[in-house]
Copies of this chain bind each other. A is one copy, B any other.
Amino acid sequence: MKKLISLFISLIAILNLSYGQFSDEDAFMLKDIHEFALKDSKVYHWLDTLCRTAGPRLSGNQASYDGLVYAEQVLQSLEIDRTFQVECQVPRWFRGQHSLDIMTPFGRLPVRSTMLGNSLGTDGKHISGEIIELQHLDSLDNTVKDKVVYFSRPMDPGLTQTFHAYGRAVDQRVYGPSRAGKFGAKAVIVRSMASQIDTIPHTGVTVYEEDATNKIPGIAISTFDAEALSALLTKGPAYAHLSSTAQPLSDTTSYSIIAEIQGSEYPDEIILVGGHIDSWDLGQGAHDDGAGCMQSIQVLETLLAMGYTPKRTLRCVLFTNEENGLNGGRSYAEYSNANNEKHIAAIESDAGGFTPRGFSCTAHEDVFIEKLTKLKSFETLLEPYDLYIKKGGAGADINPLKSQKGILIGLRPDSQRYFDYHHTAADNIDTVHPRELALGGAAMTSLVYLIDKYGI
């Protein structure tokens, strides 16, 4: 059945081509968009400045506001019709200091570790416990009481798409402390969510579920150290000693930034491009997701520079608080719904500033096949840039817009290097290639142009 649908869609796409729906003008426009990206766009310069001057932008910290202010300055430099803010409350979190010592049968194992985001600390005390290694959340039982649970399931290296491997492993980080706490564990150690064996620990959100009574700390160790720990645990018992001053702070007010160019013919049909301006607090948030924010601005920069007059309303949205709350995405959808808006399409870039491979998309089931078929028809024009259109996830910030029944689209860059840097102190501007970054923005601009011109 899947094959039949895909055959049907391909046939439609080809028939559209043979019917000559698209003009040479479109092909030239896409060429110009890519040329502008590679020769004239300021996207890399903007990201460089964001990374170097604002730095790690965890929701509610000073850098997060510095980042918002800088991004707004960039947007204003483009002389956009209208920029505005949508406010929301965001959680704040204090990482503080921590220490993790692991004693094995052969002595102390030095590990490179980082507290999981939103984790509670130890109130300045030291926690000690025998390490119990598990691979799955559902292996938890009462035997972990008073122990330190170590979740060691790797991201599957055999999957070609690293995001698939991430999706199948990340439950250990997100729910590990919450679930292990219910069985009386003292703390949770998690193998970092990384595609390779290296010495960099990865943070990322952990969530205490509503029924969590025993909220225990969570900490990640690098994949190299995880391999060492697992190997040593086959030789005899090991013990963890943990202290941490991490703690949640009171919520505060933040905001998402919206820049808008009103449509000349269908101002009520909104096409959104966006990324999230917040990041984790270890690195500069270059790939995650300064890249997506600056690429979204690049879309407007490019179309303005070309003197293109959009028929539909184009919006660039820089969401706050994706990493530890999603309150930026939620509050934007609430604002939009309250104003009876209709996003006919939303494109999020939140998978790194690497060479774009294509787009994945989703929509409300009532409209999905229709929208996907239309979107696939653009593939003939995207083919010179080797960009595909596929079914798949779109983006965490734009998902709340699904009820508006537009199409939700995620930019899909090459994923091989993403989890070398994701949520680490290495997610810095030096890992971003200027051409790869700009090509991602060019891919988004191309799709926005086609959706604006032909509707969806």
A224 shortest CB reach to chain B, Å? 14
A196 within 8 A of B: yes
Cα distance, A439 to B162, chains bound together (Å): 12
Known: A35-B158, A416-B355. A10 touches B3 (CB 8 A): no
A141 within 8 A of B: no
Our pick among B35, B38, B195 for the contact of A435 (Cβ within 8 Å) is B195
Known: A14-B10, A18-B7, A158-B34. A196 touches B435 (CB 8 A): yes
A17 shortest CB reach to chain B, Å? 6
Tell me which residues across on chain B come within 8 A of A433, comparing CB atoms. Answer: 416-417
Our pick among B11, B34, B388, B416 for the contact of A14 (Cβ within 8 Å) is B11
A101 shortest CB reach to chain B, Å? 31
A368 within 8 A of B: no
A72 within 8 A of B: no
CB contacts under 8 Å to B, within A148-162, are 157-160, 162
A406 within 8 A of B: no
Cα distance, A213 to B417, chains bound together (Å): 51
Interface string of A4-30 (1 = CB under 8 A from B): 000100110010011000000000000
Our pick among B157, B385, B435 for the contact of A416 (Cβ within 8 Å) is B435
Main secondary structure of the interface of A (DSSP, over half): helix
A98 shortest CB reach to chain B, Å? 31
Most buried by B among A39, A160, A386, A435: A160
Our pick among B158, B196, B357, B414 for the contact of A434 (Cβ within 8 Å) is B196
A310 within 8 A of B: no
Q: How many copies does the complex hold?
A: 2
Tell me which residues across on chain B come within 8 A of A436, comparing CB atoms. Answer: 416-417
Interface string of A402-415 (1 = CB under 8 A from B): 00000000000010
Name which residue of chain B comes closest to A417, CB basis.
B433
A285 within 8 A of B: no
A358 within 8 A of B: yes
Tell me which residues across on chain B come within 8 A of A355, comparing CB atoms. Answer: 355, 414, 416
Tell me which residues across on chain B come within 8 A of A195, comparing CB atoms. Answer: 435
Tell me which residues across on chain B come within 8 A of A358, comparing CB atoms. Answer: 386
**CB-based contact B388/A386 at 8 Å:** yes
The 6 closest A-B pairs by CB, nearest first: A35-B158, A416-B435, A39-B158, A355-B414, A38-B158, A416-B436
6 extra interface residue pairs, beta carbon distance < 8 Å, beyond A34-B158, A35-B159, A160-B384? A38-B157, A39-B158, A157-B435, A357-B386, A416-B433, A416-B436
**CB-based contact A14/B18 at 8 Å:** no
Known: A386-B357, A417-B433, A435-B196. A17 touches B35 (CB 8 A): no
A95 shortest CB reach to chain B, Å? 30
Cα distance, A357 to B384, chains bound together (Å): 12
Cα distance, A426 to B174, chains bound together (Å): 40
Tell me which residues across on chain B come within 8 A of A157, comparing CB atoms. Answer: 38-39, 435
**CB-based contact A17/B38 at 8 Å:** no
CB contacts under 8 Å to B, within A265-301, are none
Q: 13 interchain pairs (CB within 8 A)?
A: A7-B14, A11-B14, A38-B160, A39-B157, A39-B158, A157-B435, A160-B385, A196-B435, A355-B414, A358-B386, A386-B388, A416-B436, A417-B433
Cα distance, A430 to B358, chains bound together (Å): 28
Cα distance, A357 to B18, chains bound together (Å): 26
